[in-house]
Amino acid sequence: MSTLLEQEPVTTARRPAPRRDTPPRTPRHGLPWVLLILLAAVAVIAALGWAARERAASASGAAFRAPIPVRQAPAIRGEEIAELTTPPNVPKPITRTYATKVIVNLEIVEKTMRLADGVSYTFWTFGGSVPGRFIRVREGDQVELHLKNHPGSMVPHNIDLHAVTGPGGGAEATTTMPGHESVLRFTALNPGLYVYHCAFAPASLHVANGMYGMILVQPKEGMTPVDREFYVMQGDFYTKGAYGQPGLQPFDLQKAVDERPDYVVFNGAVGSLTGDHALKVRTGETVRLFVGNGGPNLTSSFHVIGEIFDNVYAEGSTVAQHNVQTTSIPAGGSAIVEFRTETPGKLVMVDHALFRAFSKGAVGLMQVDGEPLHGAFAGRISEGPFTQK
Ligand SMILES: [Cu+2]
């Protein structure tokens, strides 16, 4: 039995013998084929390496390498009517595992309500409250929004939802005269917490009168279960009379242009989240606040005195930051704030631009009841006269 080495001369022997009148030549095709194969191998290895690096870069969150996904409306199954809530309540979490058609019935009402003790204001509202009704849908849902402008309204209105991909967020498509109804259809492609507002010209005036609210597009994977969810939205208001001046106060255009609000409040009025209206939780509970800022002008420095945010989904996005003290919420923006309560007592929600809190109304309370937990807080452990040592 011959070895491979022994066979080599046999192969060579089969080639035709070179003619005596021509010089010996290198075989014409041998070397180029080897080169081609080598080059192809190098190209394949390089391509595989590039693809691997791309995958690693996007998976590791490398700088400027986040993927830009293709989002398409999925097939939908069935339909349902959205549960809408007034602040500070939030519709219950969606447990559906598929996309559906969601019908949202939203009625615009212009109405005079309390802005502070003894002070009233004619608000323009989505659903009769400031902020407007909270809408909760699931990523991929097809939303059919029925926008009704009450026959008693003085002016046309519309809705721009920041959750919409399309012209004006749906504003032009929904401009509705008093006593009429418009129907808008869109697919909630991107998960997140989005502001909606009226954008009928002048949009700044409609927003200044309280025409905003929020829509949560719940990620299709769902959200971390929590014990309590609340809806809080800041807004700034501009009145002819100074803070606290009693009576029905008209809108002051010049103060709005100058960004000098008389009132900065949570949920449409001074004291809407204090006293009997304080949010109520127990120690050891997990709390999620859906916080929005309608503006029209101010950015909120949202802070809860006596608590640390375990998670903040800044700007209503889907990526969490941890251990945050104060989060910035722009006008027309939002944040999802989550924490676990350890200590009984009052937590105080404020805009930490503190004159807004203590001179213009931006204060809300959360009453925490129950036993103190985890040794988080011992309170004052001694008190006595100051002594020089
Ligand atoms: Cu409007």
* Digit-coded pLDDT (tens) for 343-374: 999 999 999 999 999 999 999 999 999 999 99
- Which residue(s) pair with 108 in the sheet? 126, 149
Maximum Cα interatomic distance, the chain, rounded to a whole number of Å: 121
- Alpha carbon of 202 to ligand 1 centroid (Å): 9
- Alpha carbon of 96 to ligand 1 centroid (Å): 33
CA 208 to CA 171: how far, in whole Å? Answer: 17
Sign of the torsion formed by the C-alpha atoms of 377, 380, 382 and 388: positive
Backbone φ and ψ of 174, nearest 5° = -120, 10
* Digit-coded pLDDT (tens) for 273-285: 999 999 999 999 9
CA 281 to CA 287: how far, in whole Å? Answer: 8
* Digit-coded pLDDT (tens) for 143-168: 999 999 999 999 999 999 999 999 99
CA dihedral 153, 158, 161, 166 (to 10 degrees): 170
Measured from the Cβ of residue 265, the count of other Cβ atoms closer than 10 Å reads 27
Task: Give pTM, 2 decimals.
Answer: 0.85
Give the pLDDT confidence score for residue 43 in this predicted structure: 80
- Alpha carbon of 201 to ligand 1 centroid (Å): 8
Of the chain, the percentage scoring pLDDT greater than 90 comes to: 83
* Digit-coded pLDDT (tens) for 122-145: 999 999 999 999 999 999 999 999
Q: Which residues contact 56 (CB under 8 A, 6 or more apart)?
A: 62
- Alpha carbon of 294 to ligand 1 centroid (Å): 13
CA 343 to CA 324: how far, in whole Å? Answer: 18
Give the pLDDT confidence score for residue 46 in this predicted structure: 78
- Alpha carbon of 200 to ligand 1 centroid (Å): 5
Q: Which H or E run includes 285?
A: none
- Alpha carbon of 173 to ligand 1 centroid (Å): 14
Give the pLDDT confidence score for residue 387 in this predicted structure: 86
Nearest to 292 by CA among 349, 225, 356, 343: 349
- Alpha carbon of 157 to ligand 1 centroid (Å): 4
CA 166 to CA 173: how far, in whole Å? Answer: 10
- Alpha carbon of 138 to ligand 1 centroid (Å): 26
